[in-house]
Every structure is written in structure tokens, then in C-alpha cells.
Amino acid sequence: MVSAETVLPPPVENASADTMLFADVPIDPLEGKMDLGEETQNTKAQAQTMDSEVDLVEPGSPASGLEPGISDSASDLSSPATSIEAHEVLEGRRVRQDSGVGLEKTYADPSSAAIDAPGKVSIENEWTPANASAHERPVPSISALIIDLGDVCCNWTAPQSLPISPAMLHRLLKTRTWYEYDSGALTQEDCYNNLATQYGVSAADVGEAFKQATSSLSPNEDTFEVLRNLKRTYNDSLKIYLMSNIPSPEWESVRADTRYDWTLFDGFFPSGQVGMCKPELRFFWHVLESIKLKPKDVVFIDDNAENVLAARSLGIRCLRYKVVNGLKQFIKSVFDDPIKRGQEWLQSNAKNMWSETTQGREVRDNFAQLFLYEACRDLDLVSMTFYERTWNYYIEKPIDTVEKHPDDVDTTSMAMTILPQDTNKANGILDEVLTYTNKDGIIMTYFDTKRPRIDPIVCVNAVRFFYKYNRGECTPALEPTKSWISDVLFYRAYLDGTYYYPTGEVFLYLFSRLLVANADSDMYRSTSSLLRERLGERIGAPGDALELAMRVIGCVDMGITNEVDFRKLESMQEEDGSWPIGWLCQTGKISLKIGNKGVTTAFAVKAIEKARKR
């Protein structure tokens, strides 16, 4: 490992467009001391009996003077929900649907899990080349995208002056009165009059304030460009629908605005015409029934956390919109196979994936290259120095020191475990490893008695090395080391990391690799149940992309479902196909972290592959 000597040390007045106009904010039951009990139920009953018609676009068909593909009015069409059989609706509501993140039952057959994954077949045939024709139009993994309007598809610029303050507008939008207007149960005139009476302001001022707020909306061109690219790529294979809390008069005003490219949408679900508001679950079910899709077949994008939670509770995959770059990253994670994108990034950076410190200093080391190879099993991707006997952490001279860095047990054990080796040579090295133990009989980190450091993660790698060459159970001198790593596992001593590793996730990952490779061993019998328990404890814990990938792999290896970290890991993929750097190890005394983007990406790809196959 690396020795310490080798390195140098928002306000209410600026409310959002949704807040200002489209009421995607929770209604405050205390506003105006209003009772939301029986009256709310009556409102819901009214909404349910209203015409729940939606602007649904029939591609290519003209509609009342508008551009082809856009309907003139919701009243021109009957609700598609009426064409769905009752048993289909009930079945859709009662059966939980996976949100389409790659954990479908269809992946039970491992042979089908990587059909579309590009790359070369290497030693263990873990990556399979793609066979799709280049000229074929891609088919999206989901059928529809449902997107919000305010603060997602449009922006709001506060007018220079309003007859009432933005703070008052925000307050008005949280009332029961506005909810009724939003859902079509009140006319605009009645809404403004009720609000004026309730808050002691002029109805004319209320109307003028909302008129100015509506006119100040403008299309978010960045979002529209994302939608435009999706349509260019998938054409009619992907449907895009708008779902927004917006009263009918305001919707008609925005819909008539020619600055918006409404031709990108296949249908519209404004709350004022549908008679329902987000985050009501029935609104989501109505949309799904209207477009005849299941929750797992769609994705939902909204800037309001409450709406996103409601959609997720139905099994819909969601993004809470904040910035357009986040939207682009989410779109890529949904529509482009993360495995394919990750492998393409690895191939394009082959033999040039070096480690770096938290200070940005490049480190050329064998250790990270060995981890990279363990994840991808492709020697064409890695660049390392091969040794006749023991291995050194560094490929080149140690950084910032003239001192020779000794060979170490950690790097040597990794190399001897995952690379083809001569058995006689391996046994000779194992004998040498046993000569470097401390007074407790525990294997040390370096082939150097002047550096008497021990580390449980180094010891796990050493034990893997011994079991690889069938000496794990027949070597009495190994027992103190085996006993110690078992105790570290039992007492969770790894939680704050170790001397050479900033996180305990590496310990659990390598321990799982030890047990999976030796399922008939004494170590498996004595620690497998405990390891499953410890891995389960870590599910959902904070961590960088490498930690999450190692956790997912460890869980899959030990038969544990870990959808939480799987989802989070997938969402962390960057636009270029890589994953953000994770910190693999660290120096001794000053604990300077060293990471490798290539290792992180390779492990993320492997984790997703394994999770899909499970």
C-alpha cells in the first residue's frame, strides 16, 4: 500500500413559477380557518363528476386551425379513460409495478442480461459485443415521459410591479379556494372574489396580479431542447405528455403562446380540465389509464417534492427537477443503457485511467489497475507493470519522495489472486508472506520489517490469496489473521475505515469475494451469515459511487436484494457515461485519499450487470 512518506501533504418574494401560478404547493388547512373536511369531500365529488377531458394529440391530424398534431380544445375529445375495461383499472391499481430500473423478472436468465452490451469478450466473457444494426432506430426502454409545466417547461420572471406582493400571491395559492379553481370547481371570477373577501384585497388587484404573473411566463428552451432531442431520436416510439396544476383560463393563455413548441407533446393533462390536482393519486391514475400504460412504463418529471413522492408511491420512476443538467443526466440514465455507456467510456479511455489524489495529483499505480481488471476482466483496458515475484503499489517511482517504496502484500495478493500464475511461484510467495507477521501473528502490509503496519482489508486480500492456492484451511500460521478479520467483521471495526482505506465498504466487498470464491470453506461456514447481516446494515448508507458499487456487488454475491443503492448508483452516472471518482485507498499518516474514475466506472458497470442478472 501507499506509505505516509510517499506523498505531500430561496425567499418567498421570489416564489417559483409553479408557486406563483400553478399551485403545486400543499394547501394550508389553517388559511382563513377553513374546514377541509366535508367541503373537501364535496369538492372531490364534484371533480369526479366533471368532464375529465384532456388535450390528446393525434399525430399528423389537423385540428381546428392549429398545426398538425395539436388538438384545438379538450372538449373535442372524449376521455380515453372510458375505453379501459374496469378490470384493467382495478388490476393496475392493486398490483405493484417495478419502476423499470433493471430489476425485472426478465433478467432472471443471465444469458439475456447483456445482449446489448458492447465491448470485447475477455477472459471470463463478462462483456458481450452488441449486434444491433447501426441504421436501426433505437427503441426506448420506457413508453412515455410525463412532465410538469411550471419551473420545468417554463420559467417565471417577476414583473416589475404587482398590485399585491409576491408573498401574498404565494399565500393565495395555498388556499382551498385556489385548489377549487385549479381543479375546475370554481370559475375565475368566483375564485378572485372569494380570495379578495378572505384576505381583504381588491378582486381587481388579485386578477391583475395573476394576469401579470401568467404573461411573465416564458418557455424553458433548455428543457424543450431535451424533449426535442428525444423526439428526434425515438419519434413515435416515445410519447411525451404534459401534466400540470393549472386552471383552465391560465392554461388556455399559455397554450395559445406560440413561443412554446407544443408539437413535441402527444397529450395534455391540465388540472383545470381534468378536475384533479397533483399530488392526488387519482390524477396520476387518470393519466396512466388515459394513455393506457402501467407505472413501470413511464417516467415523471416535476420540480415539486410532494408530487414526485406521490408518483413514486405508485411505482413510477421520477426526477425532481432542479437544473437542466440534472434533467439531461436523468434522461440519459433512463433512455441510454448505462452498461453500454459505461463500457464505451472505459474503451475510449483504455490504458489511460490513472489514479489521482483529492488534490488532483496523478498517481500511476498497479493497485488501482488490478481493481480495474478484477471488475472488467479485460487486459486491453489496463496499464500496469508485471513482476516476477512480489508486486509494488507503484508503476513508476513513488510521488514526492526519493525513497524506494517496498513491495506490499496487498498489491501482491490482488495480482496473485486474479491473474494467472505459476503454482510453484505462488506457493513460494505465500511462504514469504507468512514470514512478515507481527507479534500477534497477523500478516503485515509490507515485505519490510521496518514497517510493521497491519490493516484488516490488506489481511482479507492476503487470505484470498491463500485460499486461491488451497492453503486457506491447512495453514496454521494463517489462523491469527483469519480470526482477526472475523472479529473485525463481528464487531464492525471497519465502520470508520482503516489505516490504508477511507471506507469500510472495501472490507465488506473483498470479504464477499473471499466467501463467494470459497463457498465450501471454513470461512464461509463461520462468517457468511454474519456478512449478510453486515451488508444489510449498510444498505442505503451514504457513500460515493465506488462505495455504492462495491456494496451492490457484495449484496448480490451474498444473495441480498439492494435496490436502494442500485437505483442511487444508476442515477449517479455522468453525461459522458462515466461515474464520479470514488476513493479507493489512502496514505498512512496524513490519510490523503487516492481514487480512480476508471475503477469506479468499471465497478459501477459490474454492479449494474450483476444486479440485472439476479
| Segment 533-548, tens digit of pLDDT | 999 999 999 999 999 9
Q: Any idea which of 417-426, 493-502, 589-598 has the lowest mean pLDDT?
A: 589-598
The pLDDT value given to residue 401: 60
Q: What confidence score (pLDDT) does residue 166 get?
A: 82
Q: Which of 31-40, 63-72, 329-338, 572-581 has the lowest mean pLDDT?
A: 63-72
64-68, 287-291, 455-459: which has the minimum mean pLDDT?
64-68
C-alpha cell, 521: 470453506
Domain 338-613 falls under CATH 3.30.930.10:
no
Give the architecture (CATH level 2) of 14-100+141-335.
3-Layer(aba) Sandwich (3.40)
Q: Is the pLDDT of residue 442 over 90?
A: yes
Positive/negative CA dihedral, 542, 543, 544, 549: negative
**Lowest-pLDDT choice from 20-24, 189-193, 331-335, 399-403:** 20-24
Q: Which three cell numbers stand for residue 277?
A: 390536482
- Percent of the chain clearing pLDDT 90 (strictly above): 67
What is the residue-wise DSSP string for 21-37? II--S---TTGGG---S
Distance between CA 322 and CA 331 in Å, rounded? Answer: 14
- pTM of the model as a whole: 0.69
Residues 341, 347, 350: CA angle, nearest 5 degrees: 140
pLDDT over 70 percentage in the chain? 77
Distance between CA 229 and CA 328 in Å, rounded? 11
Could you give the C-alpha distances from 517 to 131, 466, 605, in angstroms and in order? 32, 12, 21
Cell numbers 379553481: residue: 181
Sign of CA dihedral 149, 154, 160, 166: positive
- Mean pLDDT for the stretch of residues 489-500: 97
pLDDT of residue 128: 40
State yes or no: pLDDT of 113 exceeds 70: no
- The answer on pLDDT for 405 being more than 90 is no
pLDDT in tens, 567-577: 999 989 998 99
Task: Tell me what the pLDDT averaged over the chain comes to.
Answer: 82
**Rounded to the nearest 5°, which phi and psi values hold at 175?**
-85, 160
The three three-digit cell numbers of residue 591, written as one number: 490519510
What phi, psi does 119 have (nearest 5°)?
Answer: 115, 180
pLDDT at 161: 82
DSSP character for 533?
A: H
Q: How confident is the model at residue 1 (pLDDT cuts 50, 70, 90)?
A: low
Question: pLDDT value at position 549?
Answer: 98
Report the candidate in 352, 478, 373, 351 with the shortest Cα–Cα distance to residue 419.
Answer: 373
pLDDT for residue 157: 76
Of the listed ranges 214-218, 285-289, 299-303, 605-609, the least confidently predicted one is 214-218
Q: What is the average pLDDT across 328-342? A: 89
pLDDT tens-digit readout, 455-471: 999 999 999 999 999 99
Q: How confident is the model at residue 335 (pLDDT cuts 50, 70, 90)?
A: confident
Mean pLDDT of 141-157: 93
pLDDT value, residue 60: 38
Extents of the domains making up the chain:
14-100+141-335, 338-613
pLDDT at 138 (0 to 100) = 66
Of 239-243, 439-443, 509-513, 571-575, give the lowest mean pLDDT range.
571-575
Cell of 330: 436523468
Give me the helix-helix angle, 456-468 and 479-490, nearest 10°.
130
Identify which has the larger pLDDT, 9 or 163.
163
